[in-house]
Structure 1
Amino acid sequence: MTTAEKDRTTRTEAAAIMPFGGWESTPNGTGSPDDRTLFRFPAPDDPAPSTVRVLTMALWAAVLGLTATGVGVIALVTVLGGAAFWYVPTLALFGLLSVAMAVASFLSIHRPVLPWLLLACATGPLAVDVLIAALH
């Protein structure tokens, strides 16, 4: 084996301590015991996800981001006008939860259904943010 060839069953040291089945930097063959790994950065020799899949996920994430920007503008105006003490931490909590799920969806792009579930779950906390900003 040359230095350019890597053993495809090798896992990074971080995989042993990370949640969600671990993170890995190299893919393993199908049917391997590491199929439970949900999130990983794509390796150079991974097949590229389809263009439609990436574009759809990017558009969904862009809509989430633009909505969050609108919530931020409304929150800024509300805070400048005087807001309750719970207002900013609550918006920040739900906003960060939404961002974390959107990021996780892109890290799981090679899974068949998980990215769509995570993007759908990212929409929920942002909807709560919109409701809080609109009703306060």
Structure 2
Amino acid sequence: MTTVEKDRPARTEAAAIMPFGGWETTPTGTESPDDETLFRFPAPDDPAPSTVRVLTMALWAAGLGLTAAGVGITALVTVLGGAAFWFVPALALFGLLSVALAVASFLSIHRPVLPWLLLSGATVPLALDVLISALY
């Protein structure tokens, strides 16, 4: 029995213009895609990440999301009571930065340490949101 291997492109067209080595959808030739690409969608032949890793990351992200919902409710009450002009843009900036870092952590799930650094990084701006909404 023989198998036929499909020819796959080594890189997507967008990889040439994207930062961080590009967003690849398929592995590149003989070298590992992890050598040059930080963020990529998993290819069909990538090994699945461990269940514990995915569950831990999902729980961490859920904690971030629930905390952000609490900040949002607190901010809504503060805005209805009258808030300074900088209050909403500051919360939105830190909240969006936290979301972007959490998304990046899931896109880098096949890297050994990077997802944990990104989730830790996502916690910092959310902690600033909590401080701003609690102290204002």
Give the TM-score taking structure 1 as reference length.
Answer: 0.92
1:50 matched to which residue of 2?
Answer: 50
- CA distance in structure 1 between the aligned counterparts of 2:7 and 2:61, rounded to whole angstroms: 34
Structure 1 residue 87: deviation in Å? 0.1
Structure 1 residue 6: deviation in Å? 2.8
RMSD (CA atoms): 1.9
Between the two proteins, the alignment pairs up a number of residues equal to 134
In 2 relative to 1, CA 30–107 (structure 1 residues): closer, same or farther, beyond 3 Å?
A: farther
- CA distance in structure 2 between the aligned counterparts of 1:29 and 1:113, rounded to whole angstroms: 24
Give the TM-score taking structure 2 as reference length.
Answer: 0.92
What are structure 2's unaligned runs of at least 5 residues? Answer: none
What are structure 1's unaligned runs of at least 5 residues? Answer: none
The within-5 A match list for 1:1-136 is 5-7=6-8, 10-28=10-28, 31-32=31-32, 35-136=35-136
Q: Do 1:28 and 1:34's aligned partners in 2 also have CA atoms closer than 8 Å?
A: no
Q: Percent sequence identity over matched residues? A: 81
- CA distance in structure 2 between the aligned counterparts of 1:85 and 1:59, rounded to whole angstroms: 34
In 2 relative to 1, CA 105–33 (structure 1 residues): closer, same or farther, beyond 3 Å?
A: closer
Moved over 3 A (4+): 28-34
Structure 1 residue 44: deviation in Å? 1.2
In 2 relative to 1, CA 96–30 (structure 1 residues): closer, same or farther, beyond 3 Å?
A: farther
Moved more, 99-108 or 18-27: 18-27
1:79-125 Cα offsets, whole Å, 9 max, x none, are 00000000000000000000000000000000000000000000000
Structure 1 residue 21: deviation in Å? 1.2
